[in-house]
Amino acid sequence: MSKTAAWISAARLRTLPLSISGILVGTSLALPSNQFDTYIFWLAIATTLGLQILSNFANDYGDGIKGTDNDERIGPVRALQSGAISAKEMKKGIILTAIITAILALSLIYTSFGKENFLLSLLFVGLGVSAIIAAIKYTVGDSAYGYKGLGDIFVFLFFGIVSVLGSNFLMTKQLDVWLFLPAISIGLLSSAVLNLNNMRDELSDRNSKKMTLVVKGGKKFAKIYHFSLILVAFICMVIFLNLDSYSSYYLILLPLLAFVPLAIHLRKIYHYTDPKTLDPELKKVALSTFALGFILFWIVFLEF
């Protein structure tokens, strides 16, 4: 494998559509009030992609140096694990990606608030710094929160609540309490992807002392938890789409089509026994979440 191919592999391109789902939802809901901003949209997308790639590099590095990525692991071979990228090189990649992401985040904040809203700019700078730290600290360091069963909470907050509400606020400069519903939905579906990943890697994580919720609760708990994440996500989205301001029949119906493959997915989760069968399911949940955001974005875009 060439060095370029190794870096592309380490970036885990298949995770990127999921990461922008919240941005698609949050920014689309600025359209009804005519506050959608194209520059903010693309900067928000770029910043989120930077955070996701940063998280992927850091995860590769953290799990690699801790020995969590080993022969017991079922998923694709990681860059550090295979030796295609050294620990020193990955560390430099993390630093460079963090700097680029920080520049993108500052550009996004300045484009949204300019010089006039210093306190709001300061608040979002704090959120940006927190997001960068969270992306790195998931598996890196002695206090890595991913090794303490806290990964689900951070994924829910940053890829759901912060992503949807934050991107919407950057355009509208106001907080709509009803937007918590789609934010919760995207956050729960993103957590479901992480839970699937942890279900697949339960054995290697357990032996490496990576105490995910799956390792702590076991397979039965993981299945119940997974069903709950997707069911509550569906309920929140149904309620939101039935609000008076979003009451067009086709607008209610079409985004919910993204949950059809998830219903089939849940049947497979209920019956699964071999963790190897879970790897294709990761893509299914991630792409269904992206489809939800993508369909909602374009329907609102076309209507308004």
The whole-angstrom separation of Cα 178 and Cα 243 is: 9
Amino acid at the residue 180: F
Report pLDDT digits (tens) over 4-24. Answer: 888 988 888 888 999 999 999
Q: By residue range, what is the domain housing residue 272? A: 3-303
Task: Fill in the DSSP letter of residue 35.
Answer: -
Using one digit for the tens of pLDDT, what is the confidence trace for 145-164?
988 889 999 999 999 999 99
Pick the more confident residue, 252 or 273.
Answer: 273
* Number of domains, the chain: 1
Residue 175 CA to residue 169 CA, distance in Å, equals 6
Contacts of 145 (CB under 8 A, 6+ apart): 134, 137, 138, 151, 154
Query: For the whole model, what pTM was predicted?
Result: 0.93
